[in-house]
């Protein structure tokens, strides 16, 4: 077997600067200033935040250093130019991979927010050493922790979609197995489509095997196969879907399209794998058995499951527990509101999704003043649970069965909801954030 060779070479940032210099950053050379601006931008990009937020952080550093900066930002690359006193420095940076890390995002935003106060005291080398520490921050959770978080989230998701206790238990173990497999493959740097396929296949297989065991041992009805798809909902790429929509709204067309393409790759591979596994096991999409619960009891369970779902998904984004609890509280209110609107009003489902996302965005903006977490680290986890993974799966399944009309119908329903979710967050930002509201 040939030795693995990295396709993306790493940059030693300390080779670019005078590592021994103690000159304050504001008096450094343009090349050294630009290295700091570019490195922060690439690190912000690597944790999954939107191009608008990446550019905003680069601008904070640039203004504090007395340089002008323009940047063209994609999903995994940045081309930027810094200008100072007629001197121009242009650079292009590329990431080897992308992911979500809300904990590191919080640290980087705090770094950018407090940079101006320290720009006249610390040298460029000292700032790079701070960024070194951020770059080496370990993940907060091991594979088993993420598996349990995924299991909890998908178990809660199952109830919110209409499933009962048996479907919830089966989805719990299926999702936990799938996430554990995927995390182990990610630790070995296995490529995107392969780890998505393996994770979904493992989740689906675990669900079916446990279902077969329950049928044999406890005479459980085959009707409970309806929860099959819930075991793979941990794979839904909520962050790139939402941030892609936000970037398009701010006319960061390149970044928006690249993020949506990335999300579409994951969704397509996941739903195709789920459909193929369903064909192998002779499963097909079916409706959940009606749960006989009073309106009051259903409301209580929706609040609990919405919190648990968002809390679990937040772990997958490396949020610390306090941040995950905050996002869970926001999601509990926003998602329950969405479901209640669907049940008790004649509002269309996409409009209810918009209302839920708008509520999440407004609550996050209100809480940001008190707790300081980046809005996106609270809003996206809180509305990921609203992404219609079930609709996407049904659409691909029926298309694979050559039932074009039914498949297209489910995909159109999914598309309308997916468009409504970022729009809700966008209008929440327009209402509460003056910088976001303006086009300059």
Q: Are 379 and 331 in contact (CB under 8 A)?
A: no
User: How much is the pLDDT for 11?
Assistant: 80
Q: Which of 85, 103, 101 is nearest to 30 (CA)?
A: 85
Instruction: Note the pLDDT tens digit of each residue in 124-168.
Output: 999 999 999 999 999 999 999 999 999 999 999 999 999 889 899
- Give the pLDDT mean for 358-377: 86
- Give the pLDDT mean for 361-371: 86
Q: HSE on the CB side for 146, CA within 13 Å?
A: 21
Q: Kindly report the pTM of this predicted structure.
A: 0.92
Q: Are 104 and 134 in contact (CB under 8 A)?
A: yes
Q: How many residues does the chain have?
A: 440
3-state DSSP call for residue 26?
helix
- Interatomic CA distance for residues 427 and 387, integer angstroms: 18
User: How much is the pLDDT for 440?
Assistant: 63
Instruction: Note the pLDDT tens digit of each residue in 9-56.
Output: 778 787 888 877 788 999 999 999 999 999 999 999 999 999 999 999
- Give the pLDDT mean for 388-414: 91
Q: HSE on the CB side for 255, CA within 13 Å?
A: 31
- Give the pLDDT mean for 328-354: 95
% of the chain exceeding 90 in pLDDT: 70
Residue found under tokens 């173990």? 173
Instruction: Note the pLDDT tens digit of each residue in 256-269.
Output: 999 999 999 999 99
Q: HSE on the CB side for 125, CA within 13 Å?
A: 10
Q: For residue 15, count other CB atoms closer than 10 A to its CB.
A: 8
User: How much is the pLDDT for 5?
Assistant: 67
Q: Bridge partners of 73?
A: 78
Sequential DSSP letters for 302-334: HHHHHHHHHHHHHHHTT--HHHHHHHHHHHHHH
- Interatomic CA distance for residues 131 and 152, integer angstroms: 34
Cα dihedral: 194, 196, 199, 202 (round 10): -70
């Amino acid at each position: 077997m040939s030795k693995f060779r990295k396709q993306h070479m790493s940059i030693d940032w300390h080779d670019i600067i005078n590592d021994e210099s103690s000159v304050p950053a504001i008096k450094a050379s343009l090349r050294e200033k630009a290295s700091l601006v570019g490195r922060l931008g690439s690190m912000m990009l690597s944790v999954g935040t939107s191009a608008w937020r990446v550019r905003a952080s680069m601008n904070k550093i640039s203004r504090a250093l007395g340089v002008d900066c323009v940047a063209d930002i994609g999903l995994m690359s940045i081309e930027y130019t810094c200008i100072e006193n007629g001197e121009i420095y242009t650079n292009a940076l590329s990431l080897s991979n992308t992911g979500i890390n809300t904990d590191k995002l919080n640290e980087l935003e705090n770094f950018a927010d407090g940079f101006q106060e320290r720009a006249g005291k610390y040298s460029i080398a000292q700032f790079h050493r701070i960024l070194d520490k951020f770059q080496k921050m370990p993940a907060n959770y091991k594979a088993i922790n993420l598996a349990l978080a995924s299991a909890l989230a998908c178990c809660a998701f199952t109830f919110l979609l209409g499933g009962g206790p048996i479907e919830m238990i089966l989805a719990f173990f299926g999702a936990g197995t799938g996430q554990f497999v995927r995390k182990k493959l990610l630790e070995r740097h296995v490529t995107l489509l392969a780890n998505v396929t393996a994770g979904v296949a493992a989740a689906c297989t675990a669900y079916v095997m446990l279902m077969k065991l329950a049928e044999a041992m406890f005479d459980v009805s085959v009707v409970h196969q309806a929860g099959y798809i819930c075991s793979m909902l941990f794979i839904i790429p909520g962050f790139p879907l939402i941030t892609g929509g936000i970037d398009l709204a701010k006319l960061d067309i390149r970044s928006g399209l690249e993020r949506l393409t990335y999300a579409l790759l994951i969704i397509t591979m996941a739903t195709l794998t789920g459909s193929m596994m369903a064909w192998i096991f002779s499963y097909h999409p079916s409706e959940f058995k009606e749960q006989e619960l009073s309106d009051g009891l259903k409301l209580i369970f929706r609040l609990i499951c919405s919190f648990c779902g968002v809390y679990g998904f937040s772990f997958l984004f490396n949020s610390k527990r306090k941040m995950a609890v905050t996002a869970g509280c926001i999601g509990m209110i926003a998602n329950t509101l969405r479901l209640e609107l669907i049940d008790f009003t004649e509002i269309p489902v996409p409009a209810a999704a918009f209302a839920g996302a708008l509520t999440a965005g407004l609550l996050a903006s209100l809480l940001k003043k008190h707790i300081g977490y980046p809005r996106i680290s609270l809003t996206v986890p809180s509305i990921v649970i609203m992404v219609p993974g079930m609709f996407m799966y049904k659409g691909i399944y029926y298309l694979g069965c050559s039932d074009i009309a039914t498949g297209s119908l489910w995909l159109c329903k999914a598309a309308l909801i997916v468009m409504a979710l970022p729009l809700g967050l966008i209008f929440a930002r327009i209402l509460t954030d003056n910088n976001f509201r303006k086009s300059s």
